[in-house]
Structure 1
Amino acid sequence: MFPVFPLIATLATQSLATMAAYSFPVVAPVIAKDLEVPGTLVGFFISTVYGVGIISALLSPRFIRRFGAVRVSQLVLMATLAMLLSCAVGSVLSVVLGAALLGLAYGATAPASTHLLVPRTPPRIMNLVLSIRQIGVPLGGVLAGLVMAPLTLSLGWQAALLWQTLPVLAVILLLECTRLAWDADRDPSRQIFSQGLFAPVQMLFDRPELRRLAFVSFVYSGLQLCFIAFITVHLTSKTRFDLVQAGWALAVYQLAAVISRPIWGWLADKWLSAHSLLAWQGFIMGAAALLTGQFGMNWAPWVVLSLSAVAGASASGFTGLAYAEWARLGGTQRTEATGLGSGLMFAGVLLLPSLFSVIVTAFDDYALPYGFVGGLAALSGFLLLHQKNS
C-alpha cells in the first residue's frame, strides 16, 4: 500500500524547512543592503545551516528513537519557526542566530522521514517513495523563489519571512493529529547523550560497503552545490548569457532535479538497483561537469540549457536513491545510517563548493575545478561498480 499521508507529511516538513533556508539567497541583495553588509556574506547563511546541520544529523536518530519521528519532525518545524521569527528581527546577530537555530534541527529531516516511511512502504516501491520525499529540497527552493521575491517587493523581506510562519504552524498542528499512531514505536527509556556525537561514524569502520557510499554521498552532494552556486556567475562571465538567461539555466537545472527524482526511484524499483543507478549517475554528472567547464562564447543557448538539465537530473537527482541505499544497508540501524548519510552530504555541501571557489579564484578558470569535481564523481561511480562486482 502506498504511504500517502506519511509521504505528504514528510514532504511538507522538508519543503517548508528548505524554503525557509533558501529564502535568503533569493532576496540576498535586499537583505544585504538593509543590514549594510556585503551581498556575498548572505551566502554564509546556508553554510551555517548545513554546518550546524551536521550535528543534528548525527544526533537526531537518538531523539527519533526516544520521542518518535513525528515529534522530531515537529521539532524541525519549530526550529524553522524560530529561525523565521529571529531573522525577522532584522539585525545581523538575529540572522546568524536564526541560521544556527534552523541548523540545530535541519539535519533531522531525512532520518525522521526514513524512520517514518520505511516500515510503512512496500519494498517494491521503496526507492520511488524516498525519491518523491526528496523532491522537498528543490521544491522548497522553488517555493522560496516564487514567494519571497513578490512578497519582499510588496511588504519587505522581514514581513515576507513572517508570512512563512503560517503554513509552518499549520503543519505542526496537523502532525499532532497523527502522533499517537505514527510514534507508537518510540522508546521513552532510550538514552540520548550516553554516546559521543561521532558514535554513528563507527558504522563506517564496521561496514565496508558504507564507506564507499559515504564517499559517494560526500562527492555527489558537493558537486550538486557547485553547479547551483556557480552556474549563473560562470555563464555571465564566460559566455554571452545575461543574468536572465543564466537564471533560466539554473531554473532548468532545478526543474530537472524535481522531475528526475521520482523517475530514478521508479527505475530503481523496476529495472536496475539503486546501487547501479547511483554508479551511472556518477559517470553522467562527471561528464556534465567536464563539459560545463568548457562553456564559452560560442556555445549555443540550447546546448547550455540541455547540459544544465542533464546536470540537474544527475547531480541533483541522486539523493532519493542515496537515502534508500543508506536505509537498505543500515538494516535495523537504518535511522542511524540515514543520519550519518545526511551528515556526510552536508559536509560535502560545505567543503567542495569552498574548494571549487578557491580554485576558480586562483586560476580564473572554470575548466580545472569542474574537471576536478567531475573526476571525483566518475571515481565514485567506479567505486560503486567495483563494490557490486567484487
Structure 2
Amino acid sequence: MSRMLIALAAMFLQQTFASVGKVLPAVLAPLVIAELHADPAWVGVYYGTSAAASLVAQMGCGSFIVRNGALRMSQVALVLLGGGMAVAAEGSLPGFAASAIIGGGGAAVSTPTSSQLLYKVSPPRLAPLIFSIKQTAVPAGLLICGFLGPAMAAALGWRGAVLAIAAACVAFAAALQPLRARFDDDRVPSRRFRFADFRATIASVVRAPDLRGLSLACFAFNGVQSVFTAYFVTYLVALGYELSAAGFLFSVVVAVAVPCRVLWGWVGSFHLAPRLVMAGLALGMAGSIAVTGRFTAAWPMAAMGLVGAMLSATAMSWHGILLSETARLAPAGSAGAVTGGVLSFGQIGALLGPFAFSLLLRLTGGYGAGWAVCIIPALWVGFSLLCQRVPRESVIRSGTTRPTLG
C-alpha cells in the first residue's frame, strides 16, 4: 500500500506541474501581448501548435516508456516542459513557437507515463479511484496557476514568472530520481523506437473494440471539454455579463470538477462498471449542453451557474475513469503506449471541437448551433457505451485479468 501511495503522490505532483506549465502562457498572455505588440490570435496559434506537438508525442511515446521506464519518462516530460518555458522567456514569437513544440510535447507525455506507473502498483479494483484522484491534479494546477501566475508576474515580471515555474519543473524532476530504482524495475532497455510505432499505437486501439470505443469517447469528451473551456466565458459575456462576473462564475463551476473526478472514480471502483459510469457522464454531458445552449440574458446567474456546474461535473470529470479503463484493457506492460493512443484521439477532438464551434459561430452569428452540434457526439458515445456488450463482466469488475489485443 505504501508503494501505491508514494506512486500516487509522485504522479499527482508531476501532473500538477504539467498542468501549471501548460496553462501559464494563457494566464500571462495579456502581459506578453502588450509587451510584444502581438495579435491576440497568436494565443490560439500557440495552443494549436502545442496540441499538434502533444498529438505526435502521445502517439510515439510508448517505446520510450518501455525502454526507459515510466518514472524516467515522467522526469523527461518535466524537463522538456521546463525547457520549453525557458525558451518562451526569450520573448520572441519564434521562441514561443519553439516553446509550444518542446513544452507541449513534453507535458503531453505526463499522462501516459503516470498511467503506466499507477496501473502497475494499483489494486485493479481501486484503479478507477486511484486514477481519478491523480487526475484531480489537472484542475488543481489550473486553480494554482490562476492564483499564483498573476501574483508572480506582478513580483517578477512575466519572464521571471515563466522562469520560476520552469525551474520548479526541473527541480521536481530531480526530486523524483530517488524513486527510479523502485518504480522502473520493469523497463526493457533493448526496446528501440521505430517510426512504425506511430502506426502500431493507433492500430492497437483501433483494432480492439473496447479500446476503439474508449478512443471515440475520449474524442467526444475532450472535444466538448475544449469547447466548454474555450467559449463558456465568451458566451456569458455575449449575453451581457461583465467579464469579471463571467470569469468568476467559470472559476466556480470548474472547481466542481475536482471532487467530481474523485466521486466518479469511487463509483466506478465500488458500485458500477466504469463503462456505465462513462455512459452516464456522456448522457449528462449531452443534457447539460442542451440546456446551456438555451441560455438567454433573462436567465439569473445562479441558474447558469447550476447548469455550468453540471456541465463541469461531466465534461471536466471523466478523465480518471477513462484512463483507468484504458490501462486495464491494455496488454501487460503497454499501458503507457495504449494510453497515448487513446489520448491522441482526444487531442484530435480538442482540435476539431473548438474549430467546428468557431465555424458555426461565424456562419450563424449565434452560439446555439455550436452547442447543439456538441450534443451529437456526447449522445452517441453515451448510448454506444450503454449498448456495448462486455464479455465476462464479473471478471472485468474484479479486475483479475487483462485482455490481449488481436
**TM-score, normalised on structure 1?**
0.96
Contact 1:56 1:106 (8 Å CA) reproduced = no
1:300 is aligned to: 300
Please state how far the C-alpha of 1:196 moved relative to its aligned partner. Answer: 4.0
2:117 corresponds in structure 1 to 116
Label 1:62 to 1:252 Cα distance change in 2 as closer, same or farther (>3 A): same
Q: Is the 8 A contact 2:82 2:167 kept in 1?
A: no
Instruction: Name the residue aligned to 2:397.
Output: none
Matched residue, 2:310: 310
The answer to whether structure 1 residue 70 and structure 2 residue 71 are counterparts is: yes
| 1:325 match: secondary structure | helix
101-110 or 122-131: which moved more?
101-110
* Alpha-carbon shift at residue 357 of structure 1 (Å): 0.8
Determine whether 1:249 maps to 2:269. Answer: no
Unmatched segments (≥5 aa) in structure 2: 392-406
**Which residue of 1 is the match for residue 331 of structure 2?**
331
Cα separation, 2, equivalents of 1:304 and 1:387: 34
Where do residues 1-390 of structure 1 align in structure 2 (5 Å cutoff)?
A: 1=1, 3-193=4-194, 195-238=196-239, 240-332=240-332, 333-388=334-389
Quick check: 1:107–1:343 contact (8 Å CA) kept in 2?
no
Distance apart, 1:204 and its partner CA: 3.5
Q: Summarize the Cα distance change of 1:292–1:66 in structure 2 as closer, same or farther, 3 Å threshold.
A: same
Check conservation: 2:119, 2:324, Cα contact below 8 A. no
Distance 1:367 1:33 in 2: 33
Judge conservation of contact 2:50–2:100 (CA < 8 Å) in 1: yes
Structure 1's 46 and 194: CA in aligned 2 closer, same or farther, altered over 3 A?
closer
CA contact (8 A) 1:63 1:192 kept: yes
Q: Deviations over 1:223-251 (max 9, x none)?
A: 0010110011100112x321111112211
Shift of 1:315: 0.3
Give the aligned CA root-mean-square deviation in angstroms.
Answer: 1.5
Name the SS of the counterpart of 1:38 in structure 2.
Answer: coil
Q: 2:65·2:337 contact (CA, 8 Å) conserved in 1?
A: no
Give the Å deviation of 1:382.
0.5
TM-score normalised by the chain length of structure 2: 0.93
Structure 1: state its 5+ residue gaps. Answer: none
- Deviation readout 1:301-325 (Å, 9 max, x if unpaired): 1111111111111001001111111
Q: Distance in 2 between matches of 1:245 and 1:153?
A: 22
State whether residues 31 and 157 of structure 1, in contact with CA within 8 Å, keep that contact through their aligned partners in structure 2. yes
Residues in 2 aligned to 1:218 and 1:209: alpha-carbon distance in whole angstroms: 14
Q: Is the 8 A contact 2:14 2:78 kept in 1?
A: yes
1:159, distance to aligned residue in structure 2 (A): 0.8
Aligned length: 389
**How far does residue 46 in structure 1 lie from its aligned partner after superposition?**
2.1
How much has 1:47 moved relative to structure 2? 2.0
2:372 is aligned with what amino acid? G
Q: Structure 2 counterpart of 1:339, which letter?
A: G
Alignment partners' CA distance in 2, 1:367 and 1:237: 12
Q: Is the contact made by 1:55 and 1:107 (CA closer than 8 Å) also made in structure 2? A: no
One-letter identity of the residue aligned with 2:285: M
What per-residue deviation string (whole Å, max 9, x for no partner) do you get for residues 47-104 of structure 1? 2222111111111111010000111001101111111210111111111111110122
